[in-house]
Amino acid sequence: MDISKVGVIGAGQMGNGIAHVMALAGYDVALNDISQDALDTAMARIEKNMGRQAGRGLISEDDMARALARITPTLDTAEVGAADLVIESATENEDIKNKIIAGLLPHLQPHTIVTSNTSSISITRLASRTDRPEKFMGFHFMNPVPLMKLVELIRGIATDEETYKSCLAVVDRLGKTAASAEDYPAFIVNRILIPMINEAAYALYEGVGNVASIDNAMKLGANHPMGPLELGDFIGLDTCLAIMHVLHDGLADTKYRPCPLLTKYVEAGWLGRKAGRGFYDYRGDMPVPTR
């Protein structure tokens, strides 16, 4: 199917990144959120990030101007429904995603493909609550979207081949690489990555090392660009905890039990960079370990 217009629901960190790369690739984008402030913030962030790319010579000023003109911020779900491809990119909460998708369905065209940027939730289950499970799949971008080259494509049990090929063509046009994953909890990347972060939290919880020693050990001993605790703060500790719950509930294996310390940080509102505190305190000039 020829896709020319893309709807993105959710203008947060992931949603604005998706709108950014789609517009640069030549797609018309309807960027939707429930708050005008969120849309204004997203458009300012997109312009700033594109400006950085232009400053480094990765795109031209004309490329940037044309891409920004292709993005239409909107509070109206109906404008999103007019798209050929919709990417839901709201918070990692299944009830919220189901409500968003249910509100979108009456506005969709018969051919519209609906996808979710979920990082862990069952695509089959999300699709079953729609009128088009064969045209529904997972479209999981990595953060930060403009920089990361991978997109996970996840087929639900009912996803048809035409839908998969259409989404694969979009990934190719974005200049990214697709990794096809089966619909099991957390798919590929987060099935491996988030338990590592959870295990690092256990190492901290049990006193094996402090925050700095754990992160330095993995950066210098395993050549990781970021330590696991620093990475957890970057992703968001609430998102990490939500994915651990999906793994624990979906696979019924005690090795996926969320670390009590991770739970405690989330309960305290110490969610990482976005909250100013997590495994590190970001409120000063330099991040300071909290343990």
Q: Is the Cβ–Cβ distance between 260 and 198 less than 8 Å? A: no
274 known ligand binder:
yes
15 known ligand binder:
yes
278 known ligand binder:
no
Rg of the chain over Cα atoms, rounded to whole angstroms, equals: 19
Three-state DSSP state, 52: helix
97 known ligand binder:
yes
36 known ligand binder:
no
Q: Is the Cβ–Cβ distance between 232 and 215 less than 8 Å? A: no
12 known ligand binder:
yes
92 known ligand binder:
yes
| Token pair for 249 | 């509930």
The set of catalytic residues is 119, 140, 152, 190
269 known ligand binder:
no
13 known ligand binder:
yes
Residues 6 or more apart whose Cβ sits within 8 Å of residue 56: none
Beta strands (DSSP E) in 61-204 are 71-74, 85-88, 113-116, 136-141, 150-155, 177-182
Closest CA to 261 of 178, 214, 197: 197
| Token pair for 129 | 């609550």
Identify the H or E element spanning 202: helix 189-205
- The amino acid at 286: M
Q: How far apart are CA 126 and CA 89, in angstroms?
A: 13
17 known ligand binder:
no
Q: Is the Cβ–Cβ distance between 289 and 212 less than 8 Å? A: yes
Q: How far apart are CA 47 and CA 177, in angstroms?
A: 25
Binding-site residues for NAD(+), in ranges, read 10-15, 33, 92, 97, 119, 143, 274
Binding-site residues, in ranges, read 10-15, 33, 92, 97, 119, 143, 274
